[in-house]
Structure 1
Amino acid sequence: MKKYILFDHDGVLVDTEPWYFRAGARALAAIGVTLDQERYLRDMSLGLGTWEQARAAGVDERVIDRLREVRDAYYQEYLRTEAIEIEGVVEVLAELSKHVRMAVVTTAKRADFEVIHEHRQLRGFMDFVLVREDYEHSKPHPEPYLTALRRFGAAKEEALVVEDSSRGLSSAVAAGIDCVVVHNDFTGTQDFSQATYRIDTLGELKRIALG
C-alpha cells in the first residue's frame, strides 16, 4: 500500500486539456496560423507547447508574447463556461483520503488553478498543491515530483503518481516514482510504455493504491 498519491491535474482531475489547446488554436487563428493537434501533442510530450508551431511559421516573439495573453484570456473564459468535470473524481478522492495523503502536482498556472477550483471541492482532499510557479523546471523534468516528495518528507517508494500525459509520465519516471496513467481521449495516442499501471478510469486507482 502506498502512503502518498501525487496527482497531475489537467486531464486527471478536471477535463481541461482540450480547452487549453482550443484557446491556443483560437489565438493563433487570428494571425492565420493553424495549430495542428497531432504536432501539438508531440511538442507537449517534450515539455513544449502552443508556440512551437508559431515560431516554425515565422511568428515574431513579440507577437507570441501578445498572443499568449490572448490565449490565457480565452482559456479562462472556457474554464468559467464549459463543462470540465470528470465523473466520479470527487467520490474517488473522498475514499482515498481515508487511507492516504494526497497532493496535486500540476503545470497549470496559479491563476488558472484558482479559477478552476473557485467553486469545487477537490482542494479539500489535498495536503498541498504545487502549481507552475512553485518550481523552476517543468515536466518532463523530475523537479515537480521531487519537490512534492520533499514537502511530504516521503521516500519515492512510498508514493504513487497519477498522470495522463507522456510528459508527466516522464517526470515521474525520472523522479523514480511508480506511475499510474489514466486514459484520456485527448492524450491517448502518446507513448505510455514506461507506465507502472494503466487504467481506464480513476475509480480503478483504489485497487492499485490500497491493494
Structure 2
Amino acid sequence: MKKYILFDHDGVLVDTEFWYYRAGERALAGIGLTVDKDRYLRDMSQGLGTWAQARAAGVDEETISRLRRIRDDHYQEYLKTEAIEIEGVVETLADLSRHVRMAIVTTAKRADFDVIHAQRDIRRFMDFVLVREDYRLAKPHPEPYLTGLRRFGAAQQETLVVEDSSRGLNSAVAAGIDCAVVHNDFTQAQDFSQATHRIKTLRELTDIILDSAGDS
C-alpha cells in the first residue's frame, strides 16, 4: 500500500515551467541570443538549464552570472503577475490527505517557492518541503527523492512520486520509487516509458492510492 506521496512542484502543483523558460528567453534576448525551445527542453530533460545554449554560443561565465540574476528577476515578476494555478490541485490534495502523507521535492529555489506560496493553499497539506538548497545533487540524480524518503522514514514500496518531466522520472526510478507522470503540455514530448502510471490530472491519484491498498 502507498502511504506517502512525494510531489514534484513546477508543472505538477503549479503551472510555472513555461514562465521559467520565458524568463530565461527574455534574459538571453537582451544580448541578442535566441533560445531554441526544442533544444531547451532536451537540455532540461538531462538536468541542464537555460545556460547550456549560451555557453555553446560562447557566452562567458561572468555574463551568464549577470544574465542569471536578470532571469531570476523576470521569473519572480511572472510568478507574482501570471495565472499559475492548476485547476483541482487543492481539492485533490485535500482528498489525498485522508489516505496518505505528502511532501514536495522540488528543484525550485527557496526564494521562488516562497513567492509562489505566499498566498496559496498548498503547503498546509505537506509534511515538509525540500527545495534546491536542501540537497546537494539535483534531479535526475536520486538524491532529492532519497532525501524525501529519509525525512518520512518511508520505504520505497510505500511511496509514490508524482512528476511531469523525464528528469524527475529518472530521479524517481534511480531512487527505486514508483512514479506517476502527470500530463504537462510543456514536457509532453519527453520519454516517460519508465513511468509506473501516466495520468492526465492529479485527480487520478486517489484511485491509484486506493488500488494500492488492495494490493497490500
Per the TM superposition, whether the score is higher than 0.5 is yes
1:49 aligns with 2:49: yes
Moved over 4 A (4+): none
Percent of residue pairs identical: 78
Q: For residue 214 of structure 2, what is the aligned residue in structure 1?
A: none
Q: Deviations over 1:170-191 (max 9, x none)?
A: 0000000000000000000000
Letter in 2 for 1:38: D
Which ranges of structure 1 fall in alignment gaps of 5 or more residues? none
TM-score (norm 2): 0.97
1:73 aligns with 2:70: no
Letter in 1 for 2:136: E
**3-state SS of the aligned residue for 1:168?**
helix
TM-score (norm 1): 0.99
Letter in 1 for 2:53: Q
Letter in 1 for 2:6: L
**What is the rounded CA distance, in whole Å, between the counterparts of 2:205 and 2:158 in structure 1?**
15
**What is the rounded CA distance, in whole Å, between the counterparts of 1:45 and 1:21 in structure 2?**
13
**3-state SS of the aligned residue for 1:27?**
helix
Q: For residue 174 of structure 2, what is the aligned residue in structure 1?
A: 174
Q: For residue 111 of structure 1, what is the aligned residue in structure 2?
A: 111
**What is the rounded CA distance, in whole Å, between the counterparts of 2:210 and 2:54 in structure 1?**
45
Q: For residue 100 of structure 1, what is the aligned residue in structure 2?
A: 100
Q: For residue 154 of structure 2, what is the aligned residue in structure 1?
A: 154
1:33 aligns with 2:33: yes
Q: For residue 20 of structure 1, what is the aligned residue in structure 2?
A: 20
Letter in 1 for 2:78: Y
**What is the rounded CA distance, in whole Å, between the counterparts of 2:2 and 2:34 in structure 1?**
44
Q: Deviations over 1:140-169 (max 9, x none)?
A: 000000000000000000000000000000
Q: CA deviation at 1:100?
A: 0.4
Letter in 1 for 2:197: Y
Letter in 1 for 2:52: E
Q: How many residues align?
A: 211
**3-state SS of the aligned residue for 1:15?**
coil
